[in-house]
Amino acid sequence: MAQLLILPVSGKNVSKDTNLILLKSMKKSIWTIVLTVGLSVLASAGVALLVNNLSNRSNTVNTASGQDSVVPDAASGGVEYRTVNLSASEYPDFTYAAENAVDAVVYVKVTVQSQTQMMYNDPFLDLFFGGQSIPQIMEAQASGSGVIISQDGYIVTNNHVIDGATKIEVVLNDNTTHEATLVGRDPATDIALLKIEAGGLKPIPFGDSDDLRLGEWVLAIGSPFDLRSTITAGIVSAKGRSMPNYTGQFKVESFIQTDAAVNPGNSGGALVNKTGELVGINTAIISQTGQYAGYSFAVPVNIVKKITGDLLQYGKVRRAVLGVRMMTVDEKVAEEMKLSSSTGVYISEVSKGSAAEKAGIKAGDILIKVDGQDIRDASALQVVINSYHPGDKAEITVLRDGRQLTLPVEFLESATNNI
């Protein structure tokens, strides 16, 4: 739009001799103004036409695809770049997901008993107990969250929420309280399954955690600090995360990392996507203070489905075993083995009589795929193997002496938790 400059009138007198000059000057100025305005109108019309064409093109693309597209950039020598077409429905609106998922998230109260040694300075007690401490049973209360996964009262939570509990109670979103029984638990994935005697409940639908994308919006629902039905939002920060294992216990970890605010009491609660589907169970945070510091972690729902399915069907987790010792391929191993990339799993040992030995896998092999799925590290291999049952078959792809081999394997079952 052309700017109009308003000049101030000076207020000075003008002589008759200058009237003609001013008139001629004014005529010339008028034509100049007319020409300038005309050009401005034409330019504005051209810009408007260009914007309209671009808008129509954009609307056409949105209507046709509404998805990501890859476009070659001639200016950069044909290098491809990504374009994203967003419709109004793509902008974050969490009301539907929150309102539909909140009733499926419950408050879990547990009673834990612990034994302590009490010292008494009483001569009478010293006479009988010889000055020894007397064991005392103490009760403590703890809490967490859980997620209803069936109309008849099955609830999933974290194993660490109910570990050591002598009594478990579940408070629904309508404030009704039910005593819960423990169906089963799996410390390796930190998942536990509870059952309450209730019907007509509102379970949360399962999503597909493998379909989650980096940067995708998610909601965390739980009861931090006893603040029930608290909802926070964040994005998927990373996938396939594992944490340092200081206890030496067998663990299967491939956490979804988000920046949704999670605090003590959120454990066992729901991580849902924008459509209100369960994509994970909130489990842990990394913090120097014990409170939320921007990093929260959830067990992917695809792992949860397998674990809860086993607990329901077998009463325990039936975990497939390959029978190898392994380590993640790093830059040093890749250099020594002359590998093209530093991804995959180095097989350091193969157990005798194991599924791996029967399949022909050898120490020194680099395992890179299972049924065509790329394996980046040892944690990823654990998760993939954990998705199979004993007796299932798969094709294992390894690198050996610079050659790529595909070997059929039938998984076995072990009494111990290992890979």
CA angle 397, 401, 406 (to 5 degrees): 20
Residue 53 makes CB contacts below 8 A (sequence gap 6+) with: none
Tokens 């674990």 belong to: 307
Distances (CA, A) of 52 to 46, 62, 385: 10, 15, 55
90, two tokens? 């793509």
Catalytic one of 143, 178, 190, 254: 190
Alpha carbon of residue 233 to chain centroid: 12
Active site residue 160: yes
State whether residue 58 is helix, strand or coil: helix
Instruction: Please state, in angstroms and rounded to a whole number, the distance separating the CA atoms of residues 258 and 93.
Output: 18
Instruction: Please state, in angstroms and rounded to a whole number, the distance separating the CA atoms of residues 104 and 229.
Output: 10
Amino acid at 184: G
Distances (CA, A) of 255 to 36, 146, 189, 271, 304: 64, 18, 10, 12, 12
Active site residue 267: yes
Amino acid at 374: D
Residue 407: strand pairing partners: 396
Distances (CA, A) of 343 to 300, 322, 378, 384, 400: 22, 19, 10, 16, 15
Tokens 């999933």 belong to: 156
Main-chain dihedrals φ then ψ at residue 114, nearest 5 degrees = -135, 150
313, two tokens? 């069907």
Instruction: Please state, in angstroms and rounded to a whole number, the distance separating the CA atoms of residues 44 and 3.
Output: 13
245, two tokens? 């294992």
Active site residue 133: no
Catalytic one of 143, 254, 267, 354: 267
User: Annotated catalytic sites, by residue?
Assistant: 160, 190, 267
